Structure 1
Amino acid sequence: MSTTTAVTIDQLKDLQKAIRDQFITLYKNDTDAIRNISSSTKIKDSTPCLELVKLSQLIKAHTTKIGIILKPETFTKENYNATYKELKSFIDYVFFYLSLLPLFYKNEEYPEFMLKKLDNATLELLNGMEVLCDELDKKFEQHDLDQDRLLCIGMIWTSCDTLEDIGQKGKFGLLADSIRESSGLVEDVLIEINEFLEEPSLGNGFMLDDGLNSDEDDEIEEQEPKILEDDKETLEKLTTFLDVWKTKLKMIKLLLSSFTSTISSSNYKSTNKKGSILDELHSQHLIIIKNIDELIGDVFMSDSSFDPKDFDEQIESVNDSMVKIVAVMKKLNDEDVKKSKWINVWETKYFEKK
């Protein structure tokens, strides 16, 4: 369109209609449709992640300009040309972004946990675009309305920030974030164990035999609880059990922390591993944390009937996941002799019979 030609409000409405027809109607709230987009897009001297970062930045930049130009004081006939230009550029870059998606969805290199993040960010982008269209509807009728301009701009910004984060971190960086969070949760459990070991007690309070009556309530805080002899033995068994698991949890934390510290290295980035391998690692570390939380939580709630054998099934679940996660880590490090040796040593130490 010639820069000397004055843009009309009908032309702006055509662009708004294009946003609805080409994007919102086809893909809003429909991840299957998003994942089935066909495209002949090819990349030269770049990667899908690098292009994702560029496009997310460009979409955000034009969204910012749209947010400025749609302010009541600037959304005037004199600025229709500028409004048209920014909306058109915005549409073009969103189209390029959707054309890029098949390079992620139709490539076994990318794990499902990464693709789900792309799903959510894309849906958020589309939702923001729909709010933008609604805001344009109002402005076409009454220029000085400014109800949801900042809302739609913020929604699109947020989606772009997420897309940029996905592109910058890639599959290994996103996995590292998730495992780092799990490592932190293991540390939280270790802190709880340390606090327990400082002042051991049974979960249901059966260990207390205070012998006090209602007339002596005022003296309760000054009384030392009398621990039954049977409960002393139970506490000893409980303390021994948690001491063992304190060591095991330290080892699990070490394994997870070691992985996150090296996962973004050039050695991993140059490794062409299928996304399914990373998905296995991602799912197993989440299962491990869930099982650990349930195991230690149940142990803390133990009463005088505590028996370590009662937790054999839960321990087996934790260890089954540890076997699987170690196997995946071995696959990921099969070309790194030093790292593979370290994992083998860790495995031997963790599973050694006491």
Structure 2
Amino acid sequence: MKNKLLIFLMVIILGVVLAACNSNDDVSSENDNQATNGEESGDENQQEKSPSDEEITPITVNQNISADSVISSTGPNGEEAVPATTLELTVEDIEKIREGNYKAAIVMHYAGNDWSTAQIDGLETAFEKMGIEVVAVTDAQFKPEKQASDIETVLAQDPDIIVSIPTDVVSTASAYQKAAKQGVELVFMDNVPDGMQHGEDYVSVVSADNYGNGIAAAEIMGEQLNGEGKIGVVYHDADFFVTAQRVEAFEKTISEEYPNIEIVDRGGISDPEDGLDVASAMLTSNPDLDGIFGVWDVPSEGILAAARTAGREDIVITTIDLGANVALNIAQGGPIKGLGAQLPYVQGTSEAILAGYALLGKDTPPYVAVPSLKVTQDNLLESWEMVYNSSAPQEIIDAVDAAE
């Protein structure tokens, strides 16, 4: 009897164990199914967030730019400036452009500075939103013959759009004319090749307010020198419309607004790296110089190096373009006291919008300008965000904090 009772209890216990195991298997299977379903659901969600399905929003320039900003520049042919802040592609515009599967190329005169990097970034970001493929980005290294070759190479890729800044308006003109005859929509940065007509050969030209930036650099120089002193000017020795505007505005402002500041020496550069040699010669001939203006940031880095070699850390340097190296020197309270800044990211966005106008058959203005920005140590970090659409490098932020 005891043996029968023992066997009966063992059977019951075994049944309970088996039931529990089956229950665990069911739960495990259910969890596995849930995980699988979750992965599938995740894949579906991921597909819903693919670039082609992202919500389309209008493309405009930086809305933090004041609509009341004064633009002092005129276009290469004396055209009145249309503010870049007026440009916009609507959702409907973008949808139509995306249907075309268009291609674009960016043909630069020089891509070795922060200005060019920001221009290209603004263009590529806007083109991506428009569904336009960028098939080439070229760097002519300031050589007209290379830029003409770059255009030929790009044309073989059959782009619908070329955005470019001519290295030389005369020697590159035939290459751009060839592109126009092939039906390519041409949008220019800063300058227009000789003989080309708005509305026939090209869409528009977009520039910073370079005259306004020259005024800003002169005002900073005048303020730093308290309206008195001797200065030198390092200019661009080339047929380049925008750099000529900067120098004209700087020198005119100094002459009219600061009559006790005398421009005693001028030296031209043909290459961005010439700033060091030109400034060194200037300081040797004029050891009592109080300041030097550099036509843009890269040659101004050479001016800074020349001043240091000459033991002239007290000299005042002003320039155009907010490059990382000059920005760091401003942040540190060095000889570079300030500059007139272009807004290259905004300029790139504007050029892309105008290319979109052309693809849609919309009218385009002959000359569009982006306002100038006066930059000193006091507004350096905010200015960087405006110029590059991003925060300043940590090294610059730290230098500004240390100077406060």
Q: Smaller-chain TM-score range?
A: under 0.3
Higher helix share: 1
Q: Which has the higher strand share?
A: 2
Provide TM-score, normalisation by structure 1. 0.24
Query: TM-score by structure 2 length?
Result: 0.22
